[in-house]
Each structure stands twice: as C-alpha cells, then as structure tokens.
Chain A
Amino acid sequence: MSIAAKFEIEYLQYLDAEGKQVRDDLPAFAQDLDHMVELYKLMMSTRVFDAKSVALQRTGKLGTYASCLGHEAAHVGIGSAMRPEDVLAPSYREYGAQLYRGVQPREVYMYWGGDERGNDYRKEPARHDFAWSVPIATQCLHAAGSALAFKIRGEKRVAVCTIGDGGSSKGDFYGAINIAGAQNLPLVAVIVNNQWAISVPRKIQSGAPTLAQKGIAAGLFSIQVDGNDIIAVRKAMEDALERARSGQGGSVLELVTYRLGDHTTADDARRYRGEQEVKDAWAREPMKRLKHWLVAKGAWDEQKEEAWKAECDDWMDDEVNAYLETKTQPVTAMFDYTFAELPADLARQRDLALSLEHKAH
C-alpha cells in the first residue's frame, strides 16, 4: 500500500482542570507572572460583565443576550495574542476578546439593547474590527477577504475570525479556510467548540473526531487546544499569528470548551441537556485552574481577588449607567446610514417618518 498523505492533530494543554502544569516548557509570556495576572483579571472582568448583562436582561433592561460564561480563557486568549493592527471578525459572544481590544461594555449593552450605535466601537483597535455577525459563519469570509487585502498590500497583519462548533458546518466557514489555503492568506480561523449549537450537540455537526481537522482539508496548520486553559489558547494563537504574519499561511484552531450558560437568555438549556454534564463541565472551567496556578506561584490571593472583583463591579456599574442614560435614537436614524448620501426618494420617506413622530407627540 502506498500512502498519499498522512495527518495528525496535536492537542495542546499546559494546565489541567486543577491548575496543575502538565508540561514544563512554559511559553515566554506565561513566565511573566504579572502578565498572567493581567489575563486572569480580564477573564474575571469578562465574567462580571457577563453576569451583569444577564441580570440586565432579566430585569427587562436588555434584549436577548448571548452569555459567554465558560468561554473566558478562549476569548481572552484570542484577544490578548492579537496585535492592535490585526483584525477581528467575531460572531456574537466573544466579549473577552473584544474587551481586550477596546470594545466597551456599554457598547455591548447597546447592541443587545436594540441600538445600532453599539456597533460603532469608539476605541482602537476595536474600531477597525468587524461588528458582531449574527448570520452564522458569514464573518469567516470577511476575515478571509481582509487577509487577502493584507496580502495584496503587503501588510504584516493577520485577520482572525471566530466561529462556533455549529458554525463550522456552514459553507461560509469551509469557503474561508479553503481560499486561505489556496492563496496562503494570513487568516487564523478559531473554532470555539463549546459542545452545543443551541440545542444541537457537537456530534450532530460532524462525523469527524475533531473539528480542527477540517483545516487539514484546506491545507492549513490545524491544532486542537484545551480552550479552558488560557496558556494553551494564547500559545496556539501566538504561533498561528506568527506563522500568518511571516507568510507561512493560515491556521485552524479548535478551542475545546463548554457553554456553561443557556445559548442566550431566550433559551432554556434544561430542555435538552442533563445537569450532570453541566456539573462536570464546571469542574473544568477556565477561571479556577488559572487561579490555583497563580495562587501556587504566589502571584494571587483572596484579598487581591476581592479587591479586583469590587473594581470590576464599579466598572460595570458605570458602564450600565452609561447605557441606561443613553437616549433612544431619533426615528431618522434608521434612514441616515442607508447610503453615503440620502437619496431624494428615501428623504421623502424620512420626512414622512418624522412627521408621524411630531404627530405622535
């Protein structure tokens, strides 16, 4: 028998569920404990932010919201590895990555609170990132197109897209990694495999043992990563970004994690998954293991934890207040960004909408 090609998928992990280091070759960034504390702090602020969002929804102050509970290592790992000049094309729950890149919690609240201005990120580098993409997987192609632009212009920048396990079934995802392989594009496609696509379990999405191996068919570097281990996520991201930046091509990363919350606040996961599964997943969640590791190294303690939590609470309270104080846009806002300049025909409709407003008041 002659073999045409052979492949394998590496699984990357540094910290196990208890926070025990399972390998000695810590990457450079992880030897800088101050930096690791920064990452932990952002993971925690992401979690505090997320809890606030759900509470806002529950009290009727926010529309449907997609929680990121359990994804903190995956998301912060992605965001922290990227350089400012890179571009992120997220789906809809990667707040940890976005907060790192300057998206403000109030902007997230505005988007889910029914106000388009939440997409108009005020701070760099988020300002040159894509906005949330609700039509599943479509953003992957925008990242591929961005990567093509970087290649054409000879810029040392990388486009990163995130996509769910469910989304990795969609043609848009395959198309994105396919052109990235064919054109050697600086694309890093990150599959955040949280085991569920609303009520549909991972095994319904694909008969393949890993989702990472989809990248092999596209000719990309492909790896599966413990998505609850921030060191592993960050390391895999740094390597993928470096390869892409130096012209060595794109990557597919599968971050294995778990969606600890409901799909969104409109969902009730108890309808389709057992309590035991969720309990088991809590034992592997990303914050606890990093905390154990940092505490063992003497870099973190309960006092610091409480102090930082309090700071996060204050920060989020400010953000919530800023959101709640934001006045609804005037009716004209639905017309004003349709074209660069308002066409005469649309201007007449805008006038009509405005006159109805005046009549109503």
Chain B
Amino acid sequence: MQGPLIDTLARRGVTRRTFLKYCATLASMMALPPTAGRAMAEAMAAARRPSVIWLPFQECTGCTESITRSHSPTIEGMIFDMISLDYQETLMAAAGHQAEEARQNAMKDNAGKYLLIVDGSIPLGHDGAYSCIGGRSNVDMLKEAAAGAAAVIAVGSCASFGGIPKANPNPTGAVSVSDLVKDKPIVNIPGCPPIPVVMTGVLAHYLTFGSLPELDDKGRPKSFYGNTIHDRCYRRPFYDQGKFAKTFDDEGARQGWCLFELGCKGPVTHNACATVKWNGGTSWPVESGHGCLGCSEPDFWDGGSFYKALSAPADPLKFAAAAAVVGAGAGVAVSVANRVKKNTAKATHETTTLADLEK
C-alpha cells in the first residue's frame, strides 16, 4: 500500500472534493482556522503514511470497533486502513510468528519514526503474567515498542487512565500507558470507546503539522476535550431553569428535561459527544434519554452508581463539580441531599441495583 493517500482514497471511491470537505469539517472541529482545512487536505493527500504499530493490551476491542466500524465505510475507517498499519492483531491478515515478525521488522525499519497506538491497560501484577502476547508480557512489549516510537497515542480510557481493568479492586494491577512511558510524547484519547473523529484529528494534525495537537493537563487534545459534556449539552437550558427529569419515564423525561438528577455525569466529563455526537452524527447518549456515564474521565467506573446524582464535590470523580453545580438552586439542593446519602453508603463501590434505576 504505497503512494499518496489521495490515490488510495480515490480507489475506494472517495473523491477529492469529499476529502476536502471532510478536512474542512475536521479543522473546524479541532478549532483550527479555516485555512487549516486546506493545508490538512493537501498535506494528508500527499502524505506517505507513517508506519503505525498498534498494540492491543488488556482491552475489549471496542476502541477498534469504534474507529473501524462506526458506520460503513467512514473516511475515518479508510484513513485508518490506509495508514501503514504494520501491526494490528485484529485487522492484520498475518498471525502467530508471522505477525510478531512484522512488528519486529516495522520497529527496526522505522526506528524513531513510527507512531505507537495502544489500546487497553497494562497489568503489572505477577510480573505482567495476566496478559501476554506470543509469550511476552504487555509491559515488556510496551517498553520495547515505546523506545523506538516518535510518539505514543493511548486510545480509550483503559490505555489513557487504566479504565475498567483498573477499577476497584484492580485484580491485575492494571496501569495506564503514561504510568509506564515517561520519555515520549503521549496523547490520551479517552472514552469508552473514544469518538472516532478524535483519532483522525490527531493523526491529521500529526501529518499536517508534524506535531501533536495541544493537550490539556490529562494529556487529552484540547480541541475535543476542552469543554465538558454539560458545557455543550442541548438540555443545558433546562438545567439552568432547574427542570429535571426525576425518573426515566416521568413527564420531565418525556419533555426532554435535564438528566442531572438521574445521575448524568456531564458536568464533570470532558468529551465531544454533545457536539460531534455518535453514529455519524445521529444522536448521543443524552439525546437518547440517558445521562452521561463520564466514560472519558479517570476512574469513571468507581464514581459510585451511574444513576446517583453528582454530589458537589463529586467523589471519587473529584473534578470542579462544585463550580458547575452552583447556580442552579435545585442542583445545590440535590447535592446536599446526595451527600447525606453518600455518607450512609459505606462501600466505595456501589453496585447498581434495579432499585437505583427505579428510584
């Protein structure tokens, strides 16, 4: 698969105008000036794809699914296919020793230049024995592959923050990429799974400008994770008016009121769902009537029940929730009531029961 990207896209029926349009939108989503769309299109069209090695560790393959199958066939998926993806267990034809050899060759031939993508967390317990590929532990493979990489992209909440494997009581001793790799630029693209276009955005930025996009304090691209779900939620006016759905089938729910009291974690979750949406822009969780789970924040699985309203400050999802909650009288009242409940709940990890849902 050699030659510039645009030729490969053309063979797949993606015209130059389609690609230009895609890049214009991508630049807009990344809050780059409109001229950047053109620059991106030119740079990406001509780009010889960089070698990419993708290591799947303790993961569920949901991240790969999100990117390659979000809906058929997306330009995201195609760009992805077309990157010189030299190692990706799920997508590659080779298997066994052949596959491992491809990885070794790619690392040797492109030393210092390849991009390393990681999905899944890395278990450290029992010397990493919980997850091995070809007889080698994940931690071992990560260290080896990271040494020769130009940059590391941690895809999904597991690679970024440890995710579900790291959830209390973390039986395998799972950690994130940035817990282990200290001497390479790392981009975190959290989400369970992450939004496909964020991935393409980071790659486009890298191909166009030769650098990684601007990151926030948790290593996430600011352009996609700069706002909270709540900042951009279309139900926000209801929140501001103190109109909350109390159950999933009351009048408020039917009227599309704010889902804060049903446990929405939007106020403390940084992600682009509210603007980019899911399934090709069809809808997103809050639009389909369910609160945000906070899947792109560290330790979201241990934040108590998904159906308990955030307390202020939320714990252990301890972000600047207080600031978000102040301003709506009803919100404050909820938080106080909730803190009382919290105090009585001794367990750090509460199991969601049917009663929570029926609350």
Co-assembled chains A and B: no
